[in-house]
Structure 1
Amino acid sequence: MAEFSRRSFVSTLPLGLAGASLIAGAPTTVIAAAQAATGSPVSVTPLAQIRIGRFTVTALTDGYADMPFDYFPGRDAAEVEKAATAQFTARPSGVRFLFNQYLIEDGQRRILIDAGAAGSIGQTGQLPQALSALGLKLDEIDAVIVTHLHQDHMGGLIAGGKNNFPKAELYIDRRDVAHWTDPAKRNGAPDFLQPSFKMAEEVVRLYPKLQAIDGEREISPGVSIVDLTGHTPGHIGVRVEDGGQSLIMVSDMIFPVVHPAATDVFFLFEQDREAAKAMRDRFFPMAASEGALIAATHMPFPGLGRVVADRGQMRWQVADWALQN
């Protein structure tokens, strides 16, 4: 497994978001006030934005799904449910997973990180609505980086059987493209992975200009790939960096309940548990030592936080989203 560089995780931001400027959001206080005024729940398209140097990064969400408590090999279902209850992520049918996407803008390009499940899992399919709330259509996205070819990260690319981002360059790690389009691997895979194999073939068919990329590289000035191999053969993250500030979108390196405290707990969809554990064992201490600002796909919206070392134990620290001058 390739080594990742120390620079991949460098952030000059101290704990607490100093130096990163928040510029918009949909705070829960606004939602609560609206509910009080109407006497009923309000449908809100959640959006949250942060400045990283010249970049505006917007957290969006395609929706959510509840993952059964027995989807976490390494702990029994009762232990997972107990931990989820303590963290307020437990639901009757499992652990609440969000599907967060991130839009990167610098005034010249719009780059989307992942495309959501688009209705293929749980209560999803809200990404087009979220982009619309920003005044954007799918054909205004210049590039899409897919962190890996699980269905909840690529479904929006091909929802309805068509190319939904016709003007976008598409970037996917070559190892994931090879794995998820290999007939032999598909034939030997369990049923729950079959949708991902099928969707991957559709992505390749519908996006003839797909760029299968190798390793860490710069996609656009200030936007680069971080190698996080393990969760899938070509699992990647994306680093946004400018003006001494940085944000790392780490996709499925971190799941609710089990991470970052326990790297020996896995998720059902991970093919290579040994590689996934090895990457987390290296990533979490590095991220904690650097104070890296992190965005994670499945953490509660907007998925922004840090890995911190607390009395020898790694834990997730939610970042402060209070407005800063």
Structure 2
Amino acid sequence: MSQLSRRAFVGALPLGLGGVSLLGGGLIGGASTPALAATHEVAKTPATFTPLAQIRIGRFTVTALTDGYADMPYDYFPGRTAAEVEQAAVAQFTARPSGVRFLFNQYLIEDGAHRILIDAGAAGSIGQTGALPQALGTLGVQPDQIDAVIVTHMHQDHMGGLVLGGKNNYPEAELYIDRRDVKHWTDPAKRSGAADYLQTSFQMAEEVVRLYPKLQAIDGEREIVPGVFIVDLTGHTPGHIGVRVEDGGQSLIMVSDMLFPVVHPGATDVFFLFEQDPVAAKAMRDRFFPRAASEGALIAATHMPFPGLGRVVADRGQLRWQVADWALQN
């Protein structure tokens, strides 16, 4: 496993958010391994809320969107008891009767020449999801106007929108996925030995490969377009990646599933049921969180409360998540 590159943190914005605007309405509101369908709310209709938030990073506009939410059972966090996780969720106001409230945040990067979408949401396959197309429509953006989709890893909540209805839903987009994830999630032997709750991800991965002829299985860190970089964050899955946007002395790192509500960044020894390699995931967090705190890196995280923007900060010897300050644009 490659070491986390220092390039992930170069140019981190040290104070505040540059210029940020909040658009639209706000949101309301030893583990067991049962099948996914039996434990998560399954949406019968797409979510209908479309909150949006924007931040400027140099010449880039980054818009936080959401596909919806799901409540993850309290026993989905190996490393802590369900009671401990619930207690932490209550203290952080993310507790719901059926579990910890997880958001599914996606991020649209625009610079006037390119539209790049980070992940495509669960699209109704988990919880109350399916709102991403509506959120894009609120911006006046149609799926066929997306130039590239970067899939941070091949779990169903990050790629479901790509193949909803058995179709290529982003027909003009180049698709970027780390080669290690493509290999893992299309391996018949891996699928046959996987738990029931991972089978949807394996199925969707096969559909992605079949439906997207512009798929680029990439290796390691690279620049997608000027100022947009792939960051290696392997651990959560074999090819888990992040995305760094950098321009004008400012930067934002989208870290996908490096951070989960309630347990991170305070405890790197707490995992999530879907993680393929807990040892590697812990090792990456052990490296990433302290460096993020020391560099003051501005971070966007998929499952943190909307819009998922914040920093890892050191507080009396402990690391914690600090929601980023907001400032309305003129």
Q: TM-score, normalised by structure 1?
A: 0.94
Alignment of 1:213-224 (within 5 A): 213-224=218-229
- In structure 1, the residue matched to 2:96 is 91
**Which structure 2 residue ranges, 5 or more long, are not aligned?**
30-47
Measure the CA separation in 1 of the matches of 2:115 and 2:5: 26
Q: Percent of aligned pairs with the same residue?
A: 84
**Residue 213 of structure 1, CA deviation:** 0.2
Whether the 8 Å CA contact 1:260–1:316 is kept in 2: the answer is yes
2:37 matched to which residue of 1? none
Which deviations, in whole Å up to 9, do the C-alpha atoms of 1:99-122 show, x marking residues without a partner?
000000000010000000000000
Residue-by-residue CA offset, 1:127-172 (whole Å, 9 max, x unaligned)? 0000000011110100000000000000000000000000000000
- Name the CA shift for 1:44/1:118 in 2 (closer, same or farther; >3 Å): closer
Q: How does 1:164-175 map to 2 (within 5 A)?
A: 164-175=169-180
User: Offset at 1:322?
Assistant: 2.5
1:280-319 map, 5 Å: 280-319=285-324
Q: Aligned partners of 2:160 and 2:58: how far apart in 1?
A: 31
Equivalents in 2 of 1:276, 1:111: separation in Å? 26
Residue by residue over 1:217-264, the C-alpha shift from the partner in whole angstroms, topping out at 9 and shown as x without a partner, is: 000000010000000000000000000000000000000000000000
Partners of 1:11 and 1:291 within 8 A in 2: no
- In structure 2, what is the equivalent of residue 16 of structure 1? 16
1:198 pairs with 196, 203, 210, which one? 203
Moved over 2 A (4+): 23-29
Task: Select 1:157's aligned residue among 153, 162, 176.
Answer: 162
- Whether the 8 Å contact between 2:19 and 2:329 is mirrored in structure 1 is yes
2:108 is equivalent to residue 108 of structure 1 = no
Q: How many angstroms does 1:28 deviate by?
A: 4.5
Aligned residue identity for 1:4: L
Cα distance in structure 2, aligned partners of 1:98 and 1:44 = 12
Residues 71-93 of structure 1 deviation map (CA, whole Å, 9 limit, x = unaligned): 00000000000000000000000
How far, CA to CA, are the matches of 2:23 and 2:255 in structure 1?
Answer: 21
Counterpart residue identity of residue 152, structure 1: D
**RMSD across aligned positions (CA):** 1.5
**Paired residue secondary structure (2:229):** strand
Structure 1 residue 254 corresponds to structure 2 residue 259: yes
Shift of 1:9: 1.5
Query: How far 1:13 sits from its partner (Å)?
Result: 1.8
How far has the Cα of 1:15 moved from its partner?
Answer: 3.6
- State the TM-score, normalizing by the size of structure 2: 0.92
How many aligned residue pairs are there? Answer: 312
Counterpart residue identity of residue 16, structure 2: G
* 8 Å CA contact 2:67, 2:106 repeated in 1: yes
CA contact (8 A) 1:23 1:51 kept: no
- In 1, the alpha carbon distance for the partners of 2:87 and 2:319 equals 19
Distance 1:146 1:270 in 2: 16
Report the CA distance between 1:316 and its aligned residue. 0.2
Match of 1:185 in 2: 190
Q: CA deviation at 1:8?
A: 1.0
Residue 119 of structure 2 corresponds to residue 121 of structure 1: no
CA distance in 2, matches of 1:57, 1:211: 23
Is the contact between residue 11 and residue 293 of structure 1 (CA under 8 Å) also seen in structure 2? no
